[in-house]
C-alpha cells in the first residue's frame, strides 16, 4: 500500500471518528436536557400541588366562617325570624295580584317588605320599612336599597327577604355557588353579625373573580354591600288601611240623616204634588 493511500485511509477514519464523537455528544447533551426538563416538571407539579391545597383551604375557611356566623343568633333574632318567615310564606302563597298590582301572582318585593313590617309591628316590635341611600365615594358608587328593621330596645335587627339573591353571580365558580347556597333566603340578624357575613361572602367573590381572571365590579365589593343595610336610612311610616275595622264601626254608629230618601226631583214627579209658592220679599 502506498503512502498516499495510507494517508487517504487515515483521513477517512479521522472523519468517521469525528462524526461519531459529534453524534455521541449530541445524545449526551440530549440526555442532560431531559433531566433538566424533568426537574422543571417536578417543580411545576409541586407548585400546582401547593396552589391546590391553598385553594381548598381558603374555601373551607370561608364556608366555616359562614356556618359559624349564621348559627350565632340570639333569642330576639329567632323570634323575629319566625314571624318574618311565616308572613313571607303567607304572602307568597296568596293567589291573584299583590296589593299594589305589580305582581299578578303573590306578593312583589315591596308588598313583602310592607307585610313583614306590619306583622312585626302587630307582634309588638318597633318595625318599619327602611330606605337606605348613599352617595358616590372614591371606592363605592351611589345606590339605594329597601329592607325591614325591627327594634326591641336596645337591640336592632335587620330583615332582608331576598338575602341569598343579593350575592348570586351568573359566572360564579362551583365553590362560590356552593357557599352562596348556604345563605338563607330570609336573613334576620343584628348589624355586627350581618357585617361579618358580608365580609366573608365578598372575600369569596373576590377570590372567585381572581381565579377566573375577571375584574371585581364595585357593586360586588364589601363596602357597597354593607352600604345597603348598614348606611343611614329613612324609616317609612306605617300604611293606613282604607277600610279599617275602627272606621267601619264608627260609620255604623253615626246617626242617620233626617232627610227622606225622596229628593226634590222625585217629589216634583209625584202625581198631584205641587210645590208651594215662595214669596220673594
Are the beta carbons of 123 and 243 closer than 8 angstroms? no
Give the pLDDT confidence score for residue 106 in this predicted structure. Answer: 74
pLDDT, one tens digit per residue, over 69-88 is: 999 999 999 999 999 999 99
Task: Taking residues 206-223, report their average pLDDT.
Answer: 94
Q: Per-residue confidence at 152, pLDDT binned at 50, 70, 90?
A: very high
Give the pLDDT confidence score for residue 107 in this predicted structure. Answer: 84
- pTM of the shown model: 0.70
Q: Which residues contact 186 (CB under 8 A, 6 or more apart)?
A: 81, 84, 85, 88, 159, 160, 161, 163
Alpha carbon distance, N-terminus to C-terminus of the chain:
173
CA distances (Å), 50 to each of 13, 41, 47, in order?
56, 14, 5
Q: Which residues contact 234 (CB under 8 A, 6 or more apart)?
A: 130, 131, 132, 133
Amino acid at each position: 500500500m502506498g503512502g498516499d493511500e495510507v494517508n487517504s485511509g487515515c483521513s477517512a477514519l479521522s472523519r468517521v471518528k469525528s462524526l461519531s464523537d459529534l453524534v455521541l455528544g449530541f445524545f449526551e447533551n440530549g440526555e442532560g436536557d431531559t433531566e433538566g426538563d424533568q426537574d422543571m416538571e417536578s417543580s411545576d407539579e409541586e407548585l400546582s400541588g401547593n396552589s391546590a391545597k391553598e385553594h381548598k383551604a381558603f374555601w373551607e375557611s370561608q364556608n366555616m366562617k359562614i356556618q359559624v356566623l349564621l348559627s350565632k343568633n340570639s333569642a330576639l333574632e329567632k323570634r323575629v325570624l319566625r314571624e318574618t318567615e311565616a308572613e313571607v310564606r303567607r304572602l307568597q302563597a296568596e293567589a291573584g295580584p299583590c296589593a299594589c298590582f305589580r305582581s299578578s301572582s303573590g306578593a312583589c318585593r315591596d308588598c313583602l317588605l310592607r307585610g313583614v313590617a306590619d306583622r312585626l309591628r302587630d307582634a309588638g316590635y318597633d318595625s318599619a320599612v327602611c330606605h337606605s341611600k348613599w352617595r358616590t365615594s372614591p371606592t363605592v358608587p351611589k345606590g339605594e336599597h329597601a329592607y325591614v328593621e325591627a327594634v326591641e330596645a336596645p337591640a336592632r335587627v335587620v330583615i332582608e327577604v331576598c338575602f341569598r339573591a343579593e350575592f348570586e353571580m351568573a359566572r360564579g365558580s362551583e365553590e362560590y355557588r356552593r357557599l352562596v347556597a348556604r345563605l338563607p333566603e330570609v336573613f334576620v340578624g343584628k348589624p355586627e353579625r350581618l357585617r361579618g357575613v358580608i365580609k366573608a361572602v365578598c372575600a369569596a367573590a373576590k377570590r372567585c373573580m381572581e381565579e377566573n381572571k375577571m375584574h371585581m365590579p364595585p357593586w360586588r365589593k364589601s363596602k357597597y354591600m354593607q352600604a345597603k343595610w348598614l348606611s343611614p336610612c329613612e324609616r317609612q311610616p306605617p300604611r293606613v288601611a282604607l277600610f279599617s275595622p275602627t272606621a267601619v264601626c264608627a260609620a255604623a254608629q253615626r246617626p242617620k240623616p233626617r232627610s227622606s230618601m225622596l229628593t226634590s226631583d222625585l217629589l216634583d214627579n209625584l202625581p198631584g204634588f205641587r210645590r208651594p209658592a215662595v214669596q220673594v220679599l
